[in-house]
Structure 1
Amino acid sequence: MLVINLLTDLAPSLAIAMREPTGTTSARLLEEGPHSSLSSALTHEVLHHGAATATGASPAWVAARLTGTARRAGTVSVAAVVGTHLVQTLTTGGTDHNVLVAGLGSAAVLAAII
């Protein structure tokens, strides 16, 4: 679990959080206040990302378990969870240089671990 958090939350999430907002200005976001981004919008994003991760990782684990050992299925499922998170991060971050570097760096670390 720590590896998943390290690869998906440390650099990639920080890169997303630190990038300039797109489609709006910082002043407009300050005027809106926290309720517009921390209420139903946040709940929707969390549910969307959770569903996308489950959709990517569950079939990967089932396929790996049917064709190999439980240990192999565990490795495949960790790679699938991290992979789906990184794809979502890269999709959210667009062409932001820091997001691309963080996402690709995390993917390289995952590949080295596996």
Structure 2
Amino acid sequence: MEYRSPEEISEEEAEAIFATGEPSEICPALISVALHLPDREWVEKHILAFLNHEDPDVRRCAAVSSGHMARIHGAVGQGVLDALRLLLADSAVSGAVEDAMDDIEMFARRA
């Protein structure tokens, strides 16, 4: 597998992708907005929604995105932290959640 950095997309493009409901499209879009968009609150709103998604791949991408948010923006909201703590019991995504929480602890203050 070859790593490719997610392309930068706008909020409008992300909204359209999120509306498809397709996990294979949602995941790269969510990672992209976490890495590239400056509006942390907008990104967090979507991370929170996807942390509760029925598909474990989407939940995993949301967790990874929260770690990126911590690293890039230096802050993560309490709602994201609370949602991540709840996901620690989800064996399908607990590894990604633990990694995200480590990133948050290392790079972020609580917003």
TM-score, normalised to structure 1, is 0.29
Structure with higher RCO (Cα < 8 A, 6+ apart) = 1
Q: TM-score, normalised by structure 2?
A: 0.29
Larger radius of gyration: 1
